[in-house]
Amino acid sequence: MTNVVEVKQLTKTYGSVQAVKGVSFSLEPDKIYGLLGRNGAGKTTIMHMLTAQLFATSGEMKIFGESPYENNNVLTQVCFIKESLKYPDNYKVIDVLELSESLFPNWDREYAYSLLQDFQLPLKRRIKKLSRGMHSSLGIIVGLASRAPLTIFDEPYLGLDAVARSLFYDRLLEDYSENPRTVILSTHLIDEVSRMLEHVIVVDNGSIILNEDSEELRSAAYSIAGASSIVEPFLTGKKIIAKQPFGALVNAAVMGRLSAEERKKAESLGLELAPVSLQQLIIHLTNGKLDAKEADRS
Amino acid sequence: MVLSIDDSRPIFMQIAEQIEDDIIEGRLPEEAQVPSKNEFAAYHQINPATAAKGVNLLVDEGILYKKRGIGMFVATGAKAKLISKRQELFFEQYIVTMMREAEKLGITAEQLMSMIQRGDASK
Amino acid sequence: MNRLSSVLKMHFRDKATWFIIPYAVLASSFLVNLIVGYISQEEITTGGIMSIYVYLFVMGITVLPQTFNFALSFSVRRHDYFTGTALFAAANSLFISVILLVLGAIEKATAGWGTHLHFFSLPYLNEGSIIQQLIVYFMIIITLFFSGFTIGSIYRKFKGIGMIVMAIVGVAISTVLSFLMTHYNWWKYIFAWFSDKTALDIALWLIPITLIYALVSYLLLRRSTV
């Protein structure tokens, strides 16, 4: 099967500011992707370009094999739920559901109404009168019930409590199992979603700094702690992504895998080895970039 | 399934280990059906592909086998196979580590033996 | 699934904007005039009908911030958005025209609602056949809507800067034009041209103007982003 999304050297420039810098990636069908990164990293800009809501300054982009701009073949297969979505002032919840039904070919009305109950959303309430969390729930309901072959959620759960978020994850996985489709989840709550993701793309400062299967990433880095006099020689030649001194001790995060021999050696030296979680890894990687830039400036 | 997933190791390995534990401890008898990948996914809030990867790992090792159109089942002889594998691991993971720690604390092999006996008695 | 019908549906579901507020505006203006008519007991010719015209102009401006981003976010093409919105606005203009025509007829039949009030049916504008009157109403309404819509499109495409540039250019052009007209004494020709024309003639002249508005807003929206 061909890729759902194929992006080459995508760039978006605002005046002299490069929001997205020559980004290339592809998304395979029926996987759940995480588009992760700090706020302002360029995630939302990328998603807006994928859906032809913003124009790229340069680069190539194919969604379902075609350009998305003014293309109903593409757009009818895409549902993009974003945090900043604004509905017409007079709209009620029911108006959004009715309209969605006419816009998304795979819309499942019954499912939408069952989700409405799950999230306890009043059908006749005006959207302006919804709480922040209810507003987010409505977006989630549209995104799930659209069953769009490419469904994008950009920070979909502002104002939702942990219970409602968990409900979203449950429903997403359930429905994805029954109706596989390509999903992009963009969020900064990496810990919460990381285990649902099959593949992770990390954007920092307009560039992709990581593009890998999330299971690979789970063992992509380790942390090592101990007396700095012992740790330091051990670290030579390794790719250090973070280092934190603590008195005579040091705690370092290192990219890569330890061979069984190295592991034994480290243990016999009395060094503490621990895995680095996806969230920690991303924090290390995105912080590192910032530090490097600040170092350049000074 | 009582264990929960942690975020520091590949999840598919944790899924495989949990199924192994269930087989060793008898919660999943031989020839019993194993939950589907979607059930694992829903239960642990993990990606179904990841769950499938964990299950397939055990299929490759001959612990589980697939009945077409029905699902995954525990192979006959799986328990014995797993126990011998785990015993090997036990030595690697616990005994070697224990000896190293004992050395650090100045515990002799004899002292260690008596500690083990004491532990056995208070079990 | 027809995208165009979805856009029509999108507007249709906004009942307050299209089907309640314009008539509420008109009704309140009418009521005030009617009361004044009863109290004064004089024959009154009023421009109160302007209230709904002004509302349609404002709507032309506001329909874009209300629905353009929303429609694009819900996977609607710009082309379908424009076509659907233009069609809906045209149908709505026709609908309002018919209502105004009917109310105008009632006004005439009841000798100005019993108090000689000329609100819906006005001299000059309501001369000619029913079809001619309908065209006059329709063209006034749709031209106002699309002039607002064009302003909204300029804002959509160029944001605040666009509005400032448009205002400056607008003022500059009108200043130069009025200077030229005064200098060369063109005003009298223009007044002569207008005085020559019936309301229908002028309404027909609004057709190309509206088409230009529509074309300009279409081209702008095709390049607009959220």
| pLDDT given for residue A94 in this prediction | 97
A276/B8 touch (CB, cutoff 8 Å), yes or no: yes
Residues C142, C89 contacting (CB under 8 angstroms): yes
- Does one domain contain both B18 and B40? yes
Q: Of C14, C69, C226, which is closest to A91 when you measure between CB atoms?
A: C14
DSSP assignment of A176-188: HHHS--EEEEEES
Residues B10, A215: C-beta atoms closer than 8 Å: yes
Residue C169 DSSP SS3: helix
Closest CA to A27 of A54, A2, A48: A2
Q: Which residues of A touch C9 (CB under 8 A)?
A: 98-99, 102
* Alpha carbon separation from B47 to A29, A164, A198, A199, B11 (Å, rounded): 14, 19, 6, 10, 9
Report whether C224 contacts C156 (CB < 8 A).
yes
Whole-Å CA distances, C139 to A141, C121, C143, C146: 42, 16, 6, 10
Task: Judge whether B32 lies within some domain.
Answer: yes
Strands A32-36 and A58-63: unpaired
Whether B5 is covered by a domain: the verdict is: no
Element (H, E) at B120: helix B109-121
In this predicted structure, what is the pLDDT of residue A293? 41
**CA A99 to CA A120: how far, in whole Å?**
20
pLDDT of res. B3: 54
* pTM beyond 0.90: no
Residues B68, B18, single domain; the answer is yes
Nearest partner of A42 among A15, A10, A73, A71, judged by Cα: A10
pLDDT for the residue numbered C193: 84
Specify which residues A221 forms β-bridges with.
Answer: A255
Is beta strand C117-118 parallel, antiparallel or unpaired with respect to A221-227?
A: unpaired
Show me where the domains of chain C are located. 3-222
Same domain, B64 and B105: no
User: Phi/psi class of residue A177: alpha, beta or left (left: φ > 0; alpha: ψ in -120 to 50)?
Assistant: alpha
Residue B96 lies in a domain: yes
Q: What are the domain boundaries of chain A?
A: 5-216, 217-297
For the domain made up of A217-297, give the CATH fold.
Answer: Alpha-Beta Plaits (3.30.70)
What local confidence, expressed as pLDDT, does residue C183 receive?
87
Q: Please list the pLDDT of chain B residue by residue as tens digits (123 residues).
A: 445 777 667 889 999 999 999 999 999 999 999 999 999 999 999 999 999 999 999 999 999 999 998 999 999 999 999 999 999 889 888 888 888 888 889 998 889 889 889 988 887
Alpha carbons A181 and A144: distance in angstroms, whole number = 11
Taking 50 as the pLDDT cut, the residues of chain A under it are: 289-298
Which three-class secondary structure state does DSSP give residue A273? strand
Domain, as residue range, for B111 = 87-121
Is position B1 within any domain?
no
Per CB-CB distance under 8 Å, the chain A contacts of B53 are 215
Helix (H) or strand (E) run with residue A295 in it: helix A278-297
Chain centroid to Cα A262, Å, comes to: 34
Rounded-to-integer distance, Cα C19 and Cα C195, Å:
36
Q: Express each pLDDT in C80-104 by its tens digit.
A: 999 999 999 999 999 999 999 999 9
In a domain, B111, yes or no: yes
Cβ-based burial of C79 (10 A; exposed 0-12, middle 13-18, buried ≥19): middle
Verify that B74 and B24 share a domain, yes or no.
yes
A102 in contact with C at a CB cutoff of 8 Å?
A: yes
| Whole-number Å distance between alpha carbons of A271 and A295 | 30
**Chain C environment of A98 (Cβ under 8 Å):** 9, 13
For residue A295, the model assigns a pLDDT of 39
Span C7-30, mean pLDDT?
96
**B16 with B73, same domain?**
yes
What pLDDT does C128 receive? 86
Number of domains in chain B: 2
Query: In this complex, do A196 and B104 lie within 8 Å of one another by their Cβ atoms?
Result: no
Query: Considering only the top CATH level, what class is A5-216?
Result: alpha beta
Asked whether at least 3 C-beta pairs link C and B within 8 Å, the reply is no
Compute the distance between CA of residue A238 and CA of residue A255 in angstroms, rounded to an integer. Answer: 7
- Do both B57 and B95 map to the same domain? no
Strands A58-63 and A182-187 come out as unpaired
Dist. CA A148–CA C66, nearest whole Å: 25
- Predicted confidence (pLDDT) per residue in A247-279, tens digit: 889 999 998 888 888 888 888 888 888 888 888
In-domain check, residue B58: yes
Instruction: Report the CATH number that the domain containing residue B28 is assigned in CATH.
Output: 1.10.10.10
Both tokens of A257, joined, read 């895998």
Angstrom distances, CA of residue A285 to CA of A102, A279, A281, B47, B75 = 43, 10, 6, 24, 43
CA distance A31 to A3: 11
Question: How confident is residue C184, by pLDDT bands cut at 50, 70 and 90?
Answer: confident
Which of B11, B97, B104 lies closest to A218 in CB terms? Answer: B11
Check residues C122 and C97 and name the one with the higher pLDDT.
Answer: C97
Burial of C191 (0-12, 13-18, 19+ CB in 10 A): exposed
Instruction: State phi, psi for A200 to the nearest 5 degrees.
Output: -125, 135
